[in-house]
Structure 1
Amino acid sequence: MIKEILYTGLGGAILLKERVEEEIEKLQEKGKLSKEDADAFIEKLKTRGEEEEEKIKTQIKEALKEVIDEMGLATKADIEALKEK
């Protein structure tokens, strides 16, 4: 289920990226946006996307930890602590 959600999100992101690039090219062709402004805009979007990706990864990890705790599953740390005893 989580894989499907991630794949759906990635697919949407790729589609959005392609559409944004197409629109930027159209604006450049019409002379409404310079190459430098387009490059800066794309770089800003890329940076923001990477930041959002990190936030999502963190949220997924936290959610998984909660599920593991609720289910009472042993973690690597739990198993290592038992091995040490």
Structure 2
Amino acid sequence: MNEWLKNGFFLGLGAAVAGKEKVQTYLDDLVSKGRITPKEAEEFAENLIQKGETKEDEWSQASKERVQGMFHDMGLATSDDIENLEAKINHLEKMLEQNADNNNA
């Protein structure tokens, strides 16, 4: 599973780099032909980066929820589940200690 996630990350990273290079080439071409100014090209690129970061955040959250759902479906415990169990165990241990102290008194 870990290898699958790693490969997916690298695939996305490669696509992002290739996409950025294509956009930059396209913008450079528009600037060289005089269709847009260098400032407009820079603003457009910044706008694309900002939109990309927003989408990345949305996709990351959706991916996280999807993976959590898969883990839940497989019956795997979450860190919250483990923390809740540890708290219950600690509570039960204290109750046993108190019960033992009361029996010894």
Task: Report the Cα distance in structure 1 between the residues aligned to 2:21 and 2:48, rounded to whole angstroms.
Answer: 12
Quick one: distance in 2 between partners of 1:59 and 1:47?
A: 19
Q: By how many angstroms is 1:37 displaced?
A: 0.9
2:92 aligns with none
TM-score after normalising by structure 2? 0.77
Q: In the aligned structure 1, how far is the partner of 2:81 from the partner of 2:64?
A: 17
Between Structure 1 and Structure 2, how many residues are aligned? 85
Q: Which runs of 5+ in 2 are unaligned?
A: 89-105
The TM-score with structure 1 as length reference comes to 0.93
Q: CA RMSD in A?
A: 0.9
- Structure 1's unaligned 5+ residue stretches are none
Deviations 1:48-83 (A, max 9, x none): 100110011001110111011101111111111111
- Quote the Cα distance in structure 1 between the aligned partners of 2:26 and 2:79: 48
Name the residue aligned to 1:30.
33
Indicate the residue corresponding to 1:40 in structure 2: 43
Determine which structure has greater relative contact order: mean sequence separation of CA pairs < 8 Å that are 6+ residues apart, divided by chain length.
2
Query: Whose radius of gyration is greater, 1 or 2?
Result: 2
Q: Give % identity.
A: 35
List structure 1 segments (4+ residues) > 4 angstroms apart after TM superposition: none
In the TM superposition, what is the alpha-carbon distance from 1:23 to its structure 2 partner? Answer: 1.3
